[in-house]
Amino acid sequence: MLTPKYPPQDSAPPATATAPTAHTPAPVQPSAPVPVPVAPVSNRPTVQLTPGSALALAAGGGAVVLVVGAVLVSMLLAVAITATSVAVCAVVLRSLLNAERNR
C-alpha cells in the first residue's frame, strides 16, 4: 500500500547529438513514419468536480472550520475558568492561613 509506484522506463536508445560536417553525409530520413509510443493508461481514479459538488465541498470545508474553531474556543474558555477558580481558591486559602496566624 505504501510502496512507491514508478513509471515504466523508456525503451528508446539515448539520442546522441552530432553536428553534420562537410565530410559526413546528412542522415537519411526513413520513408515509413515511426510509430509513436502510446502512453500507458493510468489506473488512478479520476475526480470530476461539478459546480454542485464544488459548492458542497466548500460548504463542508466551512463547516469543518467552524466546528474546529468552536472546539478550540471552548477549550480556551475551560482553561480560563479553571485558572480563575484556582486563583480564587488560592486567595481564600491565603486569607484563612493569615487569619490563623493572627490569632
pLDDT-based confidence at 26, cuts 50/70/90? low
pLDDT digits (tens, 9 = 90+) for 68-87: 999 999 999 999 999 999 99
DSSP string, the chain: --S--PPPPP-SPPP------SSSPPPPPPSSPPPPPPPPPP-SPP----HHHHHHHHHHHHHHHHHHHHHHHHHHHHHHHHHHHHHHHHHHHHHHHHHHHH-
* Res 25: pLDDT: 63
pLDDT-based confidence at 44, cuts 50/70/90? confident
